[in-house]
Amino acid sequence: MRIAPFFLLLLVLLASSPLAAALEFPADGFSPGWKRAGPVETYAPAALYNVIDGGAELFLEMGFIDLRIQKYEGDGAEIAVEAYRMENAAAALGIYLLKCGRETPLAGIDTRNSGDHFQVALLRNNHFIFINNFSGREELLPVMTALARALAAAIPPGEAVEELGILPARDMVPGSSLLLRGPYSLQAVYTLGDGDILLLEGKRFAASAAYREPSGAGHTLIVAPYEDEATAARAFENLRRNLDPYHRLLEAGANDFVFKDFQGLFGRAEWSGRRIEIRIKLAELPVRPEK
C-alpha cells in the first residue's frame, strides 16, 4: 500500500498529542523471589520499527505514544512486560481487539485480559500490555497473574470507550467487534482499496463487526462516522473512485453503490449524513432501496 505520507502525518499528530502519565512498573517482590532485571527500556514512535518486526505500522496508526519494557527474573526464568502507551483508551482498546484475537480471560485478573501461560494481553485505560513468559513454563502462570494485577493497580481505570457504540447490537457475533483507524487496521477486516481509502487519517475511529441473522445469513458491517457531512461525502467519493480493482461495481447511485468481490460475494456502501456504512461478505446481491 502506498501510505508513506499518511504515516508522516501520523508522526506529526503524535508529537503534538498530550501525553498521559507513564506507567510505574511493579517493584521487586510483586511475587515472592521475583525482582527487576535491568532498567526500563523506552522506545518512541520513530524507534518502534526496531522493536516490532512488521507490526509497528498498526500501532502508529492507532495512536502510539511510547513503548516501555521491564524485565523480571526469578525461579531461574525471565518474564518481560511490554507496556504500549496509547493516546487514549479507545486507541488501546483498538490494539487490544486486533492483537488478542479470540479472548480467553484468565481467572484472578479484574481488568480486561486474554492469554495463557505463554503470554497475557492486558487492557487498562490507555495502556495495552503484553506479559511474556519466554520459558513457557506453565507453573509461572501465577507469577504472571500477580504481575498483571500489580500492573492494573498502577493504572487508573479511565473512562468507558464509546466508539464501539456506533455498531448495532442485534445479531452481532460475540467477540467480532473491532476498532479501525486507518489502512492497516482496515486490512484486518477487508480490502476495500489502496491506502487510507476511508480517510480515517489516524484520527477518526471506525468500527466493524460480523453479524449472523437467525436464518443463518451473515455479513460484516463497517461503520465510519465523521465530524461533518462534507468530510463523510469526501470519504465516500474517495472510496467509490478508488475501490479495489478486484471488486466489480454492479450498481451505483448518488449516495450508494453495490459491488461484487473476487470471492463472488457482494458488498454495499452507503453514505448518509455524517457516516458511511459498508456491508461486505454478503452471499446474495443486496437490494438497493428506491430513491
List the beta bridge partners of residue 144: none
**Which residue type, as a one-letter code, is found at position 8?**
L
At 5 the pLDDT is 47
* Contact by Cβ (8 Å): 103, 175: yes
Residue 245 in 3-state DSSP? coil
User: What distance in Å separates the CA atoms of residue 181 and residue 57, rounded to the nearest whole number?
Assistant: 11
pLDDT in tens, 125-145: 999 999 999 999 999 999 999
- Is the overall model pTM greater than 0.85, yes or no? yes
SS3 (DSSP) at 211? strand
Q: How far apart are the first and last CA of the chain?
A: 36
What's the rounded Cα separation, in Å, for the pair 164 and 85?
20
Closest by CA position to 181, among listed 189, 171, 173: 189
pLDDT of residue 31: 97
CA separation for the pair 283, 291 (Å, rounded): 24
- For residue 290, what pLDDT is reported? 67
Low-confidence stretches of the chain (pLDDT beneath 70): 1-21, 290-291
pLDDT score for 21: 62
Q: Which helix (DSSP H) or strand (DSSP E) does residue 229 occupy?
A: helix 229-241
Q: Are 93 and 109 in contact (CB under 8 A)?
A: no
* pLDDT in the model for residue 9: 45
For residue 159, count CB atoms less than 10 angstroms from its CB and return exposed for 0-12, middle for 13-18, buried for 19 or more: exposed
Q: What is the pLDDT of residue 16?
A: 40
